[in-house]
Chains A and B, each alone.
Chain A
Amino acid sequence: MLHIVNKSPYERNSLEACLRLAQPGSALLLIEDGVYAATRGSAAEAGLKDAMARLKVYALKPDLEARGVAGRVLDGIQLVDYGGFVELACEQPNCQSWL
Chain B
Amino acid sequence: MGVTKKFMFVNRKAPYGTIYALEGLEVVLISAAFDQDVSLAFVDDGVYQLVKGQQTKGIEAKNFSPAYRALEGYDIEKLYVEREALERRGLSEEDLLVDIQVLSSGELAELMASQDVVISF
A positions within 8 Å CB-CB of B: 6-8, 10-11, 32-33, 36, 39-43, 45, 61-63, 65-72, 81
How many chain-B residues does the 8 Å CB contact rule pick out? Answer: 25
Q: Is B16 an interface residue (CB 8 A)?
A: yes
The answer for the CA separation of A35 and B119 in the assembled complex, in Å, is 28
Q: Is B93 an interface residue (CB 8 A)?
A: no
Chain B interface mostly helix, strand, loop or mixed? loop
Contact B90 A62 (CB under 8 A): no
Task: Identify which of B17, B18, B52, B90 gathers the most chain A CB atoms within 10 Å of its CB.
Answer: B17
Q: Is B53 an interface residue (CB 8 A)?
A: yes
B positions within 8 Å CB-CB of A: 13-18, 44-45, 48, 51-59, 61, 63, 65, 88-91
- List, in ascending order, chain A residues with CB within 8 A of B53's CB: 68, 70-71
- List, in ascending order, chain A residues with CB within 8 A of B13's CB: 11
- List, in ascending order, chain B residues with CB within 8 A of A11's CB: 13-14, 44-45
Contacting residue for A68 out of B17, B55, B58, B61, CB 8 A? B55
